[in-house]
Amino acid sequence: MTTELQEPTRREARAPHQDVPTGHQPGRVGAGLFDPKQLLKSFPDAFRKLDPRVMVKSPVMFVVLVGSVVTTVLAVKDAGDWFGWVIAAWLWLTVVFANLAEAVAEGRGKAQADTLRKAKTDTVARRLVNGREEQVPGTGLAIGDLVVCEAGDIIPGDGDVVEGVASVDESAITGESAPVIRESGGDRSAVTGGTKVLSDRIVIKITTKPGETFIDRMINLVEGAARQKTPNEIALNILLASLTIVFLLAVVTLKPFAIYAGADHQTSLIVLTALLVCLIPTTIGALLSAIGIAGMDRLVQRNVLAMSGRAVEAAGDVSTLLLDKTGTITLGNRQAAEFVPVTGTTAAELADAAQLSSLADETPEGRSIVVLAKEKYGLRERHQGELEHAGWVPFTAQTRMSGVDVEGRKVRKGATGSILAWVREEGGTVTDEADSLSNRISEEGGTPLLVAVKDGKGARVLGVIHLKDVVKDGMRERFDELRRMGIKTVMITGDNPLTAKAIAEEAGVDDFLAEATPEDKMALIKREQAGGKLVAMTGDGTNDAPALAQADVGVAMNTGTSAAKEAGNMVDLDSNPTKLIEIVEIGKQLLITRGALTTFSIANDVAKYFAIIPAMFAVAYPGLDKLNIMQLASPESAILSAVIFNALIIIALVPLALKGVQYRPLSADRMLRRNLGIYGLGGLIAPFIGIKIIDLLLSLIPGIG
């Protein structure tokens, strides 16, 4: 807790003398585009997914599966028809390639899950019953049980520390080797089953059932087993199913037209099936599930666990971003930068009193005051042990000040209002100078702490300590980028309005909420949502839980309480509030990737139409030969080329579906023009080039050209 401020410093508490790694979890699998080993491992899964009960979940690919079965049966009946066998083979490959896209995406998740499974061990828990310990299997614990863990013990289940403080190794979850501190009360009380206690003794209250622990949920989610289709995916599936029905009706009506035109031999059931498969949006139908799984996978690569695909998608539509100031926008550790004495007091006198009142303050801010007094004014660093008869006054949220009574003097430092009130209570007089100095520092974006003393001269203010919280490099540029994305940024802080305003202007956020309470956060979220906006926010404490639950995207810190993690729909394993900006970008990338590949797929269908239809009916209607702009060798070659291209384009687009289309912060209309220009136009041109090349190759084979 920061010494004199209302707002806690939300940073991970780590054990001393440990270097904090900056990389992601070493056990996690990288997001390589197309790992050949992963591809080979995924092929068996792709064939297992040919089960009709699995395929029916994707209407488009289920139609392709049925078409594959039909063409295979017809090819068997007419064993001498090579054309039927080749069409059947490529239709089966189309289905397998579609399943392969999903299998590769799931396979990467399964590789990550294998790492997590290593953290799951069958542990023996030391359960407390009426003050006595009894050993029970970890699987036998129930919600509300109290268990004891000491150095070397594996924590048997998820829970909150209710007694003690300990250093815990969470590398199995976060991948970071540096231990973290977990303690009762506050916002660093949550512990995860499978992690290891390195020092001291803690008592944990179990908050989850066996099989429903954090690691269990992570395994299910990264494997894709618990992934449900999002509303946008369901809507797109309905659209694709509708297009499939339309094309099915269109293809069925071609048969009577062909009989009337005397081209019945050109419209066999095999040809019509191939035509249907080429015209329906198979490309996006094949890649749709893989795109969703890959979106969650990209979050996992950044040590963020999304509880549902809906949360990832919602992140892409977020229009208001609520960000904590401390540790997110600023570095978080406020440092003493200057001692500003009032008239009649020397800077050395102020520094001496400030250092004396900070000896019992172990926060980074308190330590920085001691160091500044030593370095700038040559005051040696004293210790509490040297002042045997001193009466230390600890900081409390109620008094908002701390200090010491020693050698007939009372020294206090703290928030402006609290110190001024103390001086008056001690019978001293207060001048306007101290108040004006505090306001000036606040307006500059600093945090003022007043220092006062009561001695033989009476109670009086000596001056102000100027604490600075530095805005992180590049934050203004990132907020400018978010603004171009159409996202409003709101800084939330417990600082006074003047300090908040100065930091907000320096960082470049759109708005700020000063002296924020949990009720204020909730009211702000509801107000934004009432205006039709989606809201994202971060939190780590129990008092953040209502707001996290209310937000459309609630990112809970892994260091936070169980209540916060249960309320949010994402958990940041690194406990880095800045990650919220990355989450929004990943969500937008997911939506853009889906939109881009849908555009490409539909444009593909138009091009394939011009490849097949003219070639099929040019014999009966010679005028249609003018539409055969690719000058394909024969009707059989045209149909076969289109079917082969239809299968190959799926496998070619798998890397793009897994990696995602590169996101750029553009307005909606510019993004639409860009998608239409690249993926719409590309989807029209690619089939003409691809089908023509395949046709030229097929024409070299005797009997086809």
Is 413 annotated among the ligand-binding residues? yes
Is 610 annotated among the ligand-binding residues? no
Contacts of residue 130, defined as CB under 8 A and 6 or more positions apart, other chains included, come to none
| Out of 59-68, 149-158, 612-621, 652-661, least confident range | 612-621
What is the spatial distance between Cα 9 and Cα 308, in angstroms, rounded to a whole number? 29
Contacts of residue 340, defined as CB under 8 A and 6 or more positions apart, other chains included, come to 350, 437, 441, 463, 464, 465, 466
Which tokens belong to 217? Answer: 């949920």
Is 399 annotated among the ligand-binding residues? yes
What is the spatial distance between Cα 498 and Cα 338, in angstroms, rounded to a whole number? 19
CA distances from 67 to 89, 113, 269 (A): 11, 36, 10
Is 410 annotated among the ligand-binding residues? no
């810190």: which residue's tokens? 557
In this prediction, residues 55-79 reach a mean pLDDT of 89
What is the spatial distance between Cα 83 and Cα 676, in angstroms, rounded to a whole number? 36
What's the confidence (pLDDT) of residue 14? 36
Helix (H, G, I), strand (E, B) or coil at 141: coil
Considering the candidates 324, 352, 552, 574, report the single residue annotated as catalytic.
324
HEC secondary structure over 414-466: ECHHHHHHHHHHCCCCCCHHHHHHHHHHHHCCCEEEEEEEEECCEEEEEEEEE
Q: Are strands 146-150 and 201-206 parallel, antiparallel or unpaired?
A: antiparallel
Asked whether residue 340 carries a pLDDT value surpassing 80, the answer given is yes
Which tokens belong to 146? Answer: 């109290």
Closest CA to 72 of 55, 56, 94, 57: 94
Is 397 annotated among the ligand-binding residues? yes
| Out of 65-74, 132-141, 555-564, least confident range | 555-564
């001498």: which residue's tokens? 80
Domains of the chain: 36-107+223-298+586-700 (no CATH), 320-329+472-573 (3.40.50.1000), 333-466 (3.40.1110.10)
What is the spatial distance between Cα 573 and Cα 557, in angstroms, rounded to a whole number? 7
What is the spatial distance between Cα 604 and Cα 686, in angstroms, rounded to a whole number? 8
How deeply is 164 buried, as exposed, middle or buried, from its count of CB atoms within 10 A (0-12, 13-18, 19+)? Answer: middle
The secondary structure of the chain in percent helix, strand, coil, rounded to multiples of 5, reads 50, 15, 30
Closest CA to 49 of 108, 107, 109: 107
Q: Which amino acid is at 33?
A: L
Is 396 annotated among the ligand-binding residues? yes
Note the pLDDT tens digit of each residue in 514-552.
887 778 888 899 998 898 888 988 877 777 788 888 888
- pLDDT class for 224, splitting at 50, 70, 90? low
In this prediction, residues 462-484 reach a mean pLDDT of 83
Phi, then psi, of 132 in degrees rounded to 5: -110, 150
Using a pLDDT cut of 70, give the percent of the chain over it. 81
Does the active-site annotation cover 51? no
Around Cβ 130, how many Cβ atoms within 10 Å? 5
Which tokens belong to 293? Answer: 């799984």
Note the pLDDT tens digit of each residue in 663-680.
777 666 777 788 788 888
What is the spatial distance between Cα 390 and Cα 407, in angstroms, rounded to a whole number? 8
In this prediction, residues 102-114 reach a mean pLDDT of 68
């009432």: which residue's tokens? 530
Higher pLDDT, 236 or 18: 236
Is 51 annotated among the ligand-binding residues? no
What is the spatial distance between Cα 286 and Cα 281, in angstroms, rounded to a whole number? 9
What is the spatial distance between Cα 548 and Cα 537, in angstroms, rounded to a whole number? 7
Is 401 annotated among the ligand-binding residues? yes
**pTM, two decimal places:** 0.65
* Residue-wise burial string across 391-413, b where 16 or more C-beta atoms lie within 10 A, e elsewhere: eebebeeebbbbbbebeeebbbb
Higher pLDDT, 469 or 178: 469
Helix (H, G, I), strand (E, B) or coil at 274: helix
Phi, then psi, of 603 in degrees rounded to 5: -65, -35
Around Cβ 458, how many Cβ atoms within 10 Å? 12
Is 480 annotated among the ligand-binding residues? no
What's the confidence (pLDDT) of residue 95? 92
């939330």: which residue's tokens? 492
Distance, C-alpha 456 to centroid of its chain:
59
Higher pLDDT, 417 or 268: 417
